[in-house]
C-alpha cells in the first residue's frame, strides 16, 4: 500500500498526539500515597491524577487543588473496580472545581470521623466539586457505637451522584450535609442518582441514612436538592432521611422496604415531591413525617406501608409552642396535596401529642389526596385538635371511618399494576391523587454499573447439609470446617461431648435426624459463642449442662464479649435445656454489651433446672435508647424450676428514634420460676421500656409474675387471657399517662381512662375470678 505525503503527515500528527496523551497519563499515574502526595501540590487546572490498580492499604489521601469550570482537576483510577482503599483509609478534598471518581472503600474503616470529606480542615472546604461513581462497602468501625460518617459534604455548589453506599453497621449517618459555618450554608448542593444499599437496624439513635443539617443550625437554609436516589432497605432507625435545615427539595426518590420515614425533623420550606415509598407490608415501613412550618408534600406515592406513630405512611406531628431549637417546631402552613397511599395502615395526625408537644398543626391544607385501604377501617389516628387542618376533596375507601365529614369522599377504586408493578388507581377522579410515571426509578438507574448490588449476607440453612458422626469435639470440628449457611445434622440419640467452646462466626444451623434428639455436653464455661458475623439456628437437640465447670456464670450460648457491629439471629426450636445448675447464675443464653439480635426466637422448647436466667437482654444500661434485641419471640415453651427470670428485656432512656423491642410471648408454661434469692428482677418476666408487648394465653403456675415498666413513646401492650395460679400477678409502672381500654375482667377501679401510672406506684390488676388478668394499654 502506498501513502501520499499528506497522509503520512496526518498519520504522524495522530501518532504524536496519541503519544503525548499517553505520556501525560503515565506521568500522573501514581502507585502509592507518597507519589500521590508529591504530585498534588503542583496540580494545575485540567490535570488528572490516576490511582494505579491494586489495594491501597491505610491510604489517607488529601486531594487539594484549584481547577476551573472549564478545566476541573480530576482524581480517578486506572480501572474502575480495581482500585481498593482498605485498612484505615479516607479521602479529604478541598479547593475548587475538583472531580473524584471510581474509588472503592472496603475491608476497613476510617481512622477519623469521615470516610470522604469535602474539607481539608474547618477553614478549607471544597466548592463547585463533584464526587461520582465511588463505592463505600461495609467500611465499618468494629466498635458498634463508635460514630463516623461515610460522606460528609461541606462547602457550596457540590454534586454527589451515582455513588454506591452499602452496609453501614456502626453508629453515624451514612451521608450528611454540614452547615456548621457560613461557608457551607445556602449551599445549593445536589445529591442525585446514588444507591443507598441496605443498612441494618442500629438499635439506637444515630442510624440515619441521610441528614441535611443539625439541630443547632436547623433554622438556617441549606437549599440542597436530593433527587432520583434509591434507598434500598435502609433500616438504621426511624429517620431514613432527617431534614434538619431549610429550603431543601426531595424529589423523585424511591424508598424500598425502608423501616422509617422521610422526616422533616427541623427547618422550613421543604418540598417533598414525587417520591415513591414501597413497603411490601414489611414491619415498620413508613412514608413521610411533617414537622415545622411551610412544608409542601405533593405527588408522592406509598404502598404497603405498615409503620405506626412516628413511622406511619403519612404523619403530621404536634409541636411545641416557642420550641427550643432542638425540639419540635409547630407544624404551620403545610400543604399536603395530590398524594396517593394504597394499602398503607396508618395516617397519623397530631402524632406525639403529650404535655410538652401540645401545639397542634395550624393553617394547613390536606387536599386532593387518596388514602385507600379496604382492609383497615380506622386508617386515621387523631391525637389532638385537627381544626387547624383544612381537609378538602380527599378520596378514601368506603370502609374508612371519616374524621371530617366535609373533607373526604368515599369511592371504590379499581387498582391495576403499572409498568413498575405498582398498584395505581385507574378510575380516580381527575385531579385527585399522585400523577405517577409509568416506569419509576430502579436501583439499576442509580449507583455505578461496574459494582454489583447483589445481597452478600448469607441466610441460615441456605448451604449444604452435612452429617456429623458422634465423637469427642466432633461438633466443634464440624462447625470449624462448615461454610456460611450450612446445616449440620447430628445422629439422633447420640452424645456429642465438647471440651472446647464452639465459636460461631457465620450463619449455621444444627439439628439432629430421626425421632430422638442428639445430646450435646460441654466442659467449658459456654458451649457456643456467637461472634461478629455469626448467627445460629438450633433445632431438635438436647443441651445438658451436667459436665460444665463448677463455677458461677456458665451459659449454653453466649455472644462475644467484644463489640459486634453485625447483627445476629438466634433461633431455637424443639430443644431441651437441662441441668444448668452446677453452680449459681447458670444462664441458658447470655448476651453482652454492644451486641444486637435482629431476632431471638425460642419455640417449642423445654427449660428445666436452671439456676440463672433463661435469657437476660439487659446489658445496655446507659439509658440512651440502646438495647440488645429487636424481636424477641417465646412461643409454646415450658420453663420449670428456673431460679432467675425466664426473660429480662430492657430498653432504657426516652429517645424515640427506634422501633423496638418487640415481644411476642404466647402459650408458654412457667412453673416455679424466679424464686432464687439472686433473681434481682423479682419476677418471672421483667420488661422495661419495651415498645410492643404481646403476652397472651400463658400459664403462670406457683411462680413469680410479670413486672412491666412503660417508659417511652406510646407502647402497645396486650396482656390477655393468662392464667396466674398461686402466682404473683402483673405489675405495671410508668412515668406518663396511658389510656386503658378493652379491659378483660379487671377490677373496676383500674378501668378509668387516663389512669396515671406513677413511678414506683405499681398498678396491680387482679382478675374477678382470681386467675386470669388481661390489660390493654393501647395507642
Q: Is the confidence at residue 629, as pLDDT, over 60?
A: yes
Answer yes or no: pTM beyond 0.75: yes
Per-residue cell: 120: 481539608
Q: Is the confidence at residue 555, as pLDDT, over 50?
A: yes
Q: Is the confidence at residue 763, as pLDDT, over 70?
A: no
Q: DSSP 3-state assignment of 692?
A: strand
DSSP 8-class letter at 330? P
Of 435-439, 730-734, 748-752, where does the model show the most confidence? 435-439
CA neighbor of 683 nearest in space, from 740, 731, 623: 731
C-alpha–C-alpha distance, residues 289 and 303, integer Å: 16
Please provide the average confidence, as pLDDT, over all residues in the chain: 90
Task: Quickly state the pLDDT bin for 735 (edges 50, 70, 90).
Answer: low
For 106-119, what is each residue's pLDDT tens digit?
Answer: 999 999 999 999 99
- Cis before residue 457, ω within 30 degrees of 0? no
C-alpha–C-alpha distance, residues 151 and 146, integer Å: 16
**Phi and psi of 189, rounded to 5°?**
-75, 160
Cβ-based neighbour number of residue 274 at 10 Å: 22
CA neighbor of 54 nearest in space, from 93, 25, 81, 87: 81
Contacts of 5 (CB under 8 A, 6+ apart): none
For 557-609, what is each residue's pLDDT tens digit?
Answer: 999 999 999 999 999 999 999 999 999 999 999 999 999 999 999 999 999 99
For 494-528, what is each residue's pLDDT tens digit?
Answer: 999 999 999 999 999 999 999 999 999 999 999 99
**Dihedral over alpha carbons 653, 659, 663, 664 (to 10 degrees):** 170
Instruction: Please write down the HEC assignment for all residues of 631-678.
Output: EEEEECCEEEEECCCCEEEEECCCCCCCCCCEEEEECCEEEEECCCCC
Per-residue cell: 79: 480501572
Q: Does residue 264 or residue 761 have the better pLDDT?
A: 264
Task: Quickly state the pLDDT bin for 5 (edges 50, 70, 90).
Answer: very low
C-alpha–C-alpha distance, residues 408 and 380, integer Å: 12
- The confidence score (pLDDT) of residue 27 equals 54
The residue-averaged pLDDT of 453-477 equals 95
Name the one residue in this structure whose C-alpha cell is 455436653: 521
Q: Does residue 513 or residue 8 have the better pLDDT?
A: 513
C-alpha–C-alpha distance, residues 471 and 445, integer Å: 54
For 40-60, what is each residue's pLDDT tens digit?
Answer: 999 999 999 999 999 999 999
Instruction: Please write down the HEC assignment for all residues of 436-485.
Output: CCCCCCCHHHCCCCCCCCCCCCCCCCCCCEEEECCCCCHHHHHHHHCCCC
Amino acid at each position: 500500500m502506498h501513502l501520499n505525503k499528506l497522509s503520512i503527515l496526518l498519520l504522524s500528527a495522530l501518532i504524536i498526539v496519541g503519544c503525548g496523551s499517553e505520556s501525560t497519563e503515565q506521568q500522573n499515574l501514581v502507585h502509592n500515597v507518597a507519589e500521590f502526595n508529591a504530585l498534588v501540590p503542583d496540580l494545575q487546572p485540567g490535570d488528572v491524577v490516576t490511582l494505579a490498580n491494586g489495594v491501597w492499604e491505610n491510604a489517607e489521601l488529601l486531594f487539594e487543588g484549584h481547577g476551573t469550570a472549564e478545566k476541573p482537576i480530576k482524581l480517578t483510577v486506572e480501572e474502575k473496580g480495581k482500585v481498593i482503599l482498605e485498612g484505615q483509609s479516607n479521602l479529604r478534598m478541598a479547593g475548587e472545581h475538583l472531580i473524584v471518581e471510581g474509588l472503592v472503600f472496603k475491608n476497613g474503616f476510617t481512622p477519623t470521623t469521615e470516610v470522604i470529606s469535602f474539607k481539608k480542615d474547618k477553614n478549607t472546604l471544597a466548592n463547585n466539586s463533584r464526587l461520582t461513581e465511588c463505592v463505600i462497602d461495609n467500611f465499618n468501625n468494629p466498635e458498634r457505637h463508635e460514630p463516623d460518617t461515610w460522606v460528609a459534604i461541606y462547602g457550596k455548589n457540590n454534586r454527589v451522584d451515582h455513588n454506591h453506599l452499602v452496609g453501614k453497621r456502626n453508629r453515624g449517618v451514612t451521608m450528611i450535609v454540614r452547615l456548621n459555618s457560613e461557608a457551607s450554608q445556602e449551599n445549593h448542593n445536589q445529591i442525585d442518582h446514588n444507591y443507598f444499599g441496605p443498612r441494618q437496624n442500629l438499635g439506637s439513635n444515630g442510624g440515619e441514612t441521610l441528614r441535611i443539617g443539625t439541630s443547632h443550625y436547623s433554622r438556617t437554609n441549606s437549599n440542597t436538592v436530593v433527587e432520583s436516589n434509591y434507598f434500598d432497605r435502609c433500616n438504621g432507625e426511624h429517620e431514613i432521611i432527617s431534614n434538619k435545615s431549610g429550603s431543601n427539595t426531595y424529589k423523585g426518590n424511591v424508598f424500598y422496604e425502608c423501616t422509617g420515614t422521610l422526616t422533616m425533623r427541623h427547618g422550613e420550606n421543604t418540598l417533598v415531591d414525587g417520591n415513591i415509598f414501597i413497603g411490601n407490608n414489611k414491619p415498620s415501613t413508613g412514608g413521610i413525617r411533617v414537622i415545622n412550618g411551610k412544608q409542601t408534600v405533593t405527588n408522592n406515592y406509598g404502598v404497603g406501608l405498615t409503620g405506626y406513630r412516628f413511622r406511619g405512611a403519612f404523619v403530621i406531628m404536634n409541636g411545641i409552642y416557642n420550641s427550643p431549637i432542638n425540639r419540635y417546631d409547630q407544624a404551620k402552613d403545610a400543604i399536603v396535596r395530590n398524594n396517593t397511599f394504597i394499602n398503607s395502615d396508618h395516617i397519623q395526625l397530631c402524632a406525639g401529642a403529650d404535655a410538652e408537644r401540645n401545639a397542634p398543626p395550624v393553617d394547613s391544607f390536606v387536599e386532593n389526596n387518596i388514602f385507600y385501604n379496604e382492609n383497615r377501617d380506622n386508617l386515621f389516628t387523631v391525637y389532638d385538635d385537627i381544626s387547624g387542618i383544612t381537609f378538602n376533596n380527599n378520596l378514601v375507601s368506603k370502609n374508612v371511618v371519616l374524621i371530617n365529614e366535609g373533607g373526604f369522599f368515599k369511592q371504590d377504586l379499581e387498582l391495576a399494576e403499572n409498568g413498575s408493578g405498582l398498584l395505581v388507581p385507574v378510575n380516580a377522579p381527575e385531579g385527585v391523587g399522585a400523577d405517577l410515571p409509568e416506569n419509576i426509578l430502579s436501583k439499576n438507574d442509580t449507583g455505578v454499573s461496574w459494582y454489583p448490588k447483589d445481597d452478600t449476607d448469607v441466610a441460615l440453612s441456605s448451604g449444604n447439609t452435612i452429617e456429623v458422626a458422634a465423637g469427642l469435639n466432633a461438633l466443634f470440628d464440624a462447625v470449624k470446617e462448615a461454610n456460611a449457611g450450612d446445616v449440620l445434622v447430628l445422629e439422633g440419640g447420640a452424645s456429642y461431648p465438647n471440651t472446647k467452646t464452639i465459636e460461631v462466626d457465620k450463619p449455621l444451623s444444627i439439628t439432629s435426624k430421626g425421632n430422638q434428639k442428639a445430646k450435646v455436653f460441654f466442659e467449658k464455661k459456654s458451649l457456643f459463642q456467637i461472634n461478629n458475623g455469626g448467627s445460629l439456628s438450633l433445632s431438635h437437640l438436647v443441651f445438658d449442662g451436667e459436665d460444665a465447670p463448677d463455677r458461677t456464670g456458665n451459659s449454653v450460648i453466649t455472644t462475644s464479649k467484644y463489640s459486634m457491629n453485625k447483627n445476629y439471629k438466634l433461633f431455637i426450636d424443639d430443644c431441651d435445656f437441662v441441668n444448668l445448675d452446677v453452680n449459681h447464675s447458670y444462664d441458658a443464653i447470655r448476651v453482652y454489651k454492644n451486641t444486637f439480635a435482629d431476632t431471638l426466637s425460642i419455640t417449642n422448647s423445654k427449660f428445666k433446672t436452671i439456676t440463672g436466667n433463661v435469657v437476660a437482654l439487659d446489658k445496655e444500661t446507659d439509658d440512651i435508647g440502646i438495647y440488645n434485641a429487636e424481636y424477641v419471640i417465646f412461643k409454646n415453651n415450658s420453663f420449670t424450676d428456673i431460679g432467675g427470670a425466664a426473660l429480662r428485656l430492657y430498653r432504657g432512656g426516652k429517645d424515640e428514634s427506634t422501633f423496638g423491642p418487640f415481644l411476642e410471648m404466647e402459650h408458654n408454661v412457667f412453673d416455679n420460676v424466679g424464686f432464687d434469692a439472686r433473681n434481682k428482677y423479682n419476677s418471672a418476666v421483667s420488661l422495661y421500656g419495651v415498645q410492643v408487648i404481646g403476652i397472651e394465653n400463658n400459664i403462670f403456675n406457683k411462680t413469680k409474675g410479670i413486672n412491666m415498666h412503660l417508659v417511652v413513646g406510646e407502647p402497645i401492650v396486650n396482656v390477655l387471657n393468662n392464667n396466674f395460679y398461686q402466682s404473683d400477678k402483673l405489675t405495671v409502672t410508668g412515668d406518663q399517662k396511658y389510656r386503658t381500654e378493652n379491659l378483660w375482667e379487671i377490677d373496676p377501679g383500674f378501668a378509668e381512662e387516663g389512669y396515671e401510672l406513677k413511678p414506683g406506684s405499681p398498678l396491680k390488676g387482679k382478675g374477678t375470678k382470681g386467675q386470669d388478668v388481661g390489660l390493654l394499654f393501647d395507642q
